[in-house]
A and B are shown apart, each in its own frame.
Chain A
Amino acid sequence: MTSNRDRRVVVTGLGATTPLGGTATETWEALLAGRSGARTMDFDWVAKYELPVTFAATIATPPVEVLAKVETRRLDPSSQYALIAAREAWADAGAPEIDPERLGAAIGSGIGGVWTLLDQWDVLKEKGPRRVYPLAVPMLMPNGPAAAVSLDLGARAGAHTTVSACASGAESMGYAIDMIRTGRADIVVAGGTEAAVHPLPIAGFAAMQALSTRNDDPTRASRPYDTGRDGFVLGEGAAVIVLESEEHARARGARIYAELASVGMSADAHHITAPEPNGSGASRAMLYAVERADLSPTDIIHINAHATSTPVGDVAEYNAIKRAFGDHTENMSVTATKSMTGHLLGAAGALEAVITIQSIYHRLVPATINLDDQDPEIPLNVVSGEHQKLPDGDIAALNNSFGFGGHNVALAIRSI
């Protein structure tokens, strides 16, 4: 397998709107401070539907505080979050001048416009078809966020949507790398978005017993690797990065955060929701990423893990890491930032890519919170208590994302 790193892809802009903050920087600072974004939901529908889970990691800065009123009216929340993160990333990259036909967009989502879909279903039932909003379909379609970003930035090389549940955001970055490597674009705005803090997904995830029910203590509920973990905490938001061919970034003197060196992907073909217990599928994705980044497994010093805080998933990921890295496993510092952000589903992989890029750039790994009693079945070198400094020199890290359906995506990020 060839790496094709002769056309290197670098990161020149970061953006995020998350449960921890309205920007990538605010989110990073909250991570270093060890803050949780989980909170009790004060929506009237929580009691109305007697939801068994009454908390979530809701967005810190509502879009109405950032976007024009007409944008909040004509875009589903999933597109609103994506637009906010994309504009931040674009500005952070210096709003580069580029031929629109050389600029692409790749924004993934796990669930799509669930708010619009179900609100408009209510309108149809209660008021009839004439009152259904004419923009209902473009608002609810899962490619809506990619289209909104493409329209906003004038990206004409292509606007794409990867859909692979909780791996969607990471997969979009893989798609973006390919767009640049194959010469379709010089810059691609890539990321993931999710706005699914809505009673139906909450009821669905709760019915499958995937969510933590620690209703009396939301900030302590997301606890990856801890023996007391009982499920994930639903989050929402978006994260977007500006990816650029190194040649293009150097020519315009852009600040470069890191190299997004490769993506490794595989499918379990094992079960619709359960991860393969021995981790063989996920380990293949990690090893593909390492190989395609022209690295050896021992070059990886840090992993930002998928680690959602479910009893089964965290063990399966450990098994995959151990299978891929063997004795080197103990040398890698691992962190589970979902302990603070919650699980942003289709935005999770993108947000954790942003965090891993920040970790490489600042040479700091945020600590996992709520790790009081590490599960003996998961003997990883977990960063907890205090954030960890990464060494100087050339370093490399992985970011894992896995999705219902057996989707495995690993991104390799190298310092530059």
Chain B
Amino acid sequence: MAQSEQEILEGLAEIVNEETGLDTASVEMDKSFTEDLDIDSLSMMTIVVNAEEKFGVRIPDSEVKNLKTVRDAVTFIAGAQS
């Protein structure tokens, strides 16, 4: 079932909060995972795997390095769902 970008953003923010303790409001579309949110590669892998489960998509390991901003991730998930 395809979700809106806003729904994906909210779900992703919950995953980020669960893993890192960051406030969900800080997870905004234009934020960089590494530079703005200070998420390391280990946490990123956990976020990716949890996102796969939550959104019912597959995010290949080779794709993870391209997900630099929150928008990149939301766009990829939305595309994979459709």
Contact = CB atoms under 8 A, between A and B. Distances in A.
Interface of B: 18-21, 42-43, 45-46, 49
Nearest to A68: B21
A70 B21 CA distance: 5
Interface string A319-335: 00000000000000000
B21 A134 contact: no
A122 to B, nearest CB: 16
A245 B2 CA distance: 64
A133 B49 CA distance: 9
A271 interface: no
A73 B42 contact: no
A130 B50 CA distance: 11
A73 B15 CA distance: 12
B45 A69 contact: no
A134 B45 CA distance: 7
A131 interface: yes
* Size category of the binding interface on chain A: 10 to 19
15 contacts: A68-B21, A69-B18, A69-B21, A70-B20, A71-B21, A73-B18, A73-B19, A130-B49, A131-B49, A133-B46, A134-B42, A134-B43, A134-B45, A134-B46, A135-B42
Q: For A71, A73, A133, A134, which residue has the most chain B Cβ atoms within 10 angstroms?
A: A134
Contacts of B18: 69, 73
Contacts of A133: 46
B45 to A, nearest CB: 5
Nearest to A130: B49
The 4 A-B residue pairs whose C-beta atoms are closest, nearest first, are A70-B21, A134-B42, A134-B45, A134-B46
A68 B19 CA distance: 11
Interface in A199-213: none
Interface string A96-134: 000000000000000000000000000000000011011
A191 B5 CA distance: 49
Contacts of B45: 134
A210 B18 CA distance: 40
A130 B45 CA distance: 9
Given A70-B19, A134-B46, 7 more contacts: A70-B21, A73-B18, A131-B49, A134-B42, A134-B43, A134-B45, A135-B42
Contacts of B21: 68-71
B61 to A, nearest CB: 9
Nearest to A131: B49
A133 B50 CA distance: 10
A258 to B, nearest CB: 38
Nearest to B18: A73
A35 to B, nearest CB: 35
A134 B20 CA distance: 13
B18 to A, nearest CB: 7
A70 B43 CA distance: 11
Nearest to A74: B19
Nearest to B20: A70
Contacts of B42: 134-135
Contacts of B19: 70, 73
A407 B38 CA distance: 44
Nearest to B44: A134
B27 to A, nearest CB: 14
B67 to A, nearest CB: 16
A144 to B, nearest CB: 14
A71 B19 CA distance: 9
B59 to A, nearest CB: 11
A70 to B, nearest CB: 3
B37 to A, nearest CB: 13
Contacts of A131: 49
Nearest to A135: B42
Interface in A64-102: 68-71, 73
Nearest to A133: B46
A70 B23 CA distance: 11
